Structure 1
Amino acid sequence: MRRAWRWSIAALPLLLLVACAPRQLVRLPGNAAMLAQQQAREKQLAAVTHWTLRGRLGVSDGHHGGSGSLTWTQDGDRYAFELQGPALSGVDFRLVGGPDGATLNGVRGGPLHGPDAETLMQAALGWTVPLRDLRAWVLGLRADSGPASLRFGDNHLPSLLQQDGWTVDYRAWDSQRQPPLPTTIFASKPPYKVRLAVESWSIR
């Protein structure tokens, strides 16, 4: 199944993003004021359980990859992750679930069912992706899975987050929104790379 993955013209927007996005070189360890500001953001956003993110997603496992248009809806403990394009399975991809399990459509032999999203991704695509942690990281928060290391940019917002073996690089933020939310996120854990360009946030 993974042999079916192919880079295609759909990957060009993400390749251009990688090439053109200005790299944020500021990696401040964070003083008391920055850490207090981050803790306040985390406390405020921890109460936000209903949101929709739309953007472009690019993925690679070091050998194959692709990109597509992403819509991620979080409704409390339930989620819907929809990807249009060849980024993962070669066709449109939909992952939905919650506490009672997860269902994956858009893969050969699907729909597939499993106890959680991580198990399904591993079984269907061979990917080890911490989707539960990603729910926090995409908001610019530390996940509750274990220790995390933070570095800050000159905007006093997270620039680099390291947790669970992953490095999450925040390249751009929507600082007009309060609290601010990330708009360009690069995450990596060799051999995996994920690139997300957020086009819109809807917080309810």
Structure 2
Amino acid sequence: MEEQLGWSLPVSAMPDWVRGLPDENDNYQLETDEFGFPSHLAQDGWEIDYRDWEQFEGMWLPRRLIMNYDEVRITLVVNQWQASEE
């Protein structure tokens, strides 16, 4: 993907990022809001802004996040969280 587009999506970090967590295997900067929720995450060249949260099975999870990398902007909106069957 990086050769074709000039940027790469860090697939290994995505499961953490969409849950409002940094990838613990890489350096990061995390800012929180007045309630302690992550509001901004900078990691691996990406800037992630968390805009909305919802409670799901006792956990607060992001509902909307905006990911920026250079000129690339990705907006992710989670309509419904679902627990995995692990």
Measured against the shorter chain, the TM-score band is 0.7 to 0.9
Greater per-residue helix proportion:
1
**CA shift for structure 1 position 142:** 0.9
| C-alpha distance in structure 2 between counterparts of 1:179 and 1:133, whole Å | 20
Q: Which residue of 2 aligns with 1:175?
A: 55
| C-alpha distance in structure 2 between counterparts of 1:122 and 1:165, whole Å | 13
* Counterpart check, 1:160 vs 2:56: no
TM-score of the superposed pair, with normalisation by structure 1: 0.38
Q: Which residue of 1 aligns with 2:76?
A: 196
Please list every run of 5 or more consecutive structure 2 residues that lacks an aligned counterpart in the other structure: none
State the identity as a percent: 29
Q: Which residue of 1 aligns with 2:29?
A: 149
RMSD: 1.6
TM-score of the superposed pair, with normalisation by structure 2: 0.84
Q: Which has the higher contact order (CA 8 A, sep 6+)?
A: 1
| C-alpha distance in structure 1 between counterparts of 2:52 and 2:46, whole Å | 19
| C-alpha distance in structure 1 between counterparts of 2:53 and 2:25, whole Å | 24
Residue in structure 2 matching 1:134, options 3, 6, 14: 14
In structure 2, give the amino acid aligned to 1:203: A
The structure having more radius of gyration, on CA atoms, is 1
| C-alpha distance in structure 1 between counterparts of 2:81 and 2:56, whole Å | 12
| C-alpha distance in structure 2 between counterparts of 1:177 and 1:168, whole Å | 24
User: SS in structure 2 opposite 1:143?
Assistant: coil
Do the aligned residues in 1 keep the contact of 2:50 with 2:65 (CA within 8 Å)? Answer: yes
Deviations 1:99-130 (A, max 9, x none): xxxxxxxxxxxxxxxxxxxxxx335x524111
| C-alpha distance in structure 1 between counterparts of 2:52 and 2:35, whole Å | 10
| C-alpha distance in structure 2 between counterparts of 1:130 and 1:145, whole Å | 12
Q: 1:177 to 1:170 in 2, by over 3 A?
A: farther
| C-alpha distance in structure 1 between counterparts of 2:2 and 2:55, whole Å | 35
In structure 1, give the amino acid aligned to 2:69: K
Greater per-residue strand proportion:
2
Please list every run of 5 or more consecutive structure 1 residues that lacks an aligned counterpart in the other structure: 1-120
